[in-house]
Amino acid sequence: MHGVETAAASTERAADRISRDRRSIRRRAELLLALTESDLRARYGRGRMRLLKWLLDPFALVGVYLLLVSVVLDRPGPAPGLSLACAVVPFQLLMMSVVNAMGAVDLRRSIILNMSFDRGLIPASGVLTETVAFAASFLLLVLMMGIYRIAPTAALVWFPLVVAVNILLAIAVAYIASLVGIWFSDLRQFAISFVRTLFFLAPGLVPLSLIGGEAAVLLRLNPLSGVFEGYRSVLLYGQRPAAWELLVPAGFAVLLLAIALPVYAREQRQFAKVVS
């Protein structure tokens, strides 16, 4: 009888624990949604021109780089416009996530000083904000596929996974960028320039297939290379991404998160002092 009561009590405690965990997850999801909505209003809610500029930036960049690759470098490759879009669109998510994260704590100044909430969600909410505009940039990919008459293939089933890796990397970089923005606010422009440099240290302007020798091997170490080539595999070549195109950026993101999250969790206790 005592064993039955003990088992029943243990089951009840486990059910209570599961219920508390569900409530905690729901509260965090609601908070993340609220932070994202407020961030969207702050960044894109003050006139349509700001959002329009963000949406047009990928088109402008592809046009400039297409001119550079086709005319100046004379290395167009297959469907150069689509190839460039497969690099510019995912890079815009990473770039804007870094820019957002570096000023995210300052942007939340009022609620950090006046409210108690899980501040560990601030960088992630910034990435979700940029993901909304990022999804709209898929129009550029569709447009380029139409221009070059590249029909979608069964490889599109891999596209959500490629995008998920892209977002995971953006989240990981956002936590690092947020810490840089807090510790070294004077170096924000340098950090942004460094991220831009990574684009040119990856197969952004030309696909990896046009880069030979040891350089091609070294470029694979750049997590952006896997992201860019993953988009090209699915949209341009009509094939599933190679394992390294998913594993290298995902592994790099997990490593960054393993380093950044404990540090961020410790530093967030001091945010009120930082912004005051």
* Domain annotation covers residue 7: no
pLDDT of residue 137: 79
Q: Which residues of the chain have pLDDT under 70?
A: 1-25, 27-77, 104-120, 269-276
Q: What angle do CA 191, 65, 91 make, to 5 degrees?
A: 40
Look-up: residue for tokens 């860019």?
A: 228
Residue 184, CB-side half-sphere exposure with 13 Å CA sphere: 9
Q: How far is 227 from 92, CA to CA, in rounded Å?
A: 12
C-alpha torsion 70→156→169→269, nearest 10: 140
What DSSP character marks residue 240? P
How confident is the model at residue 276, as a pLDDT? 57
Residue 266 domain-assigned (yes or no)? yes
Residue 164 backbone zone (phi > 0: left; psi -120 to 50: alpha; other: beta): alpha
Instruction: Please indicate, yes or no, if residue 227 is contained in any of the structural domains.
Output: yes
Inside any domain, residue 180: yes
CA distances from 187 to 66, 174, 184, 190, 198 (A): 31, 15, 5, 5, 17
- pLDDT score, position 186: 78
Q: Is residue 126 part of a domain?
A: yes
Structural domain boundaries enclosing 111: 41-275
Report how many domains make up the chain.
1
Q: Give the end-to-end CA distance of the chain in Å, rounded to a whole number.
A: 60
Q: Is residue 10 part of a domain?
A: no
For 106-131, write each residue's pLDDT tens digit. 666 666 655 665 666 778 777 887 78
**Which residues have CB under 8 Å from 37's CB, separation 6+?**
none
User: Any residues with CB less than 8 A from the CB of 196 and at least 6 apart, and which?
Assistant: 95
Given CA atoms 63, 68, 70, 76 in this order, what sign does their dihedral have?
A: negative
Q: Is residue 36 part of a domain?
A: no
Does residue 95 belong to any structural domain of this protein? Answer: yes
Gap between the Cα atoms of 151 and 156, Å rounded:
11
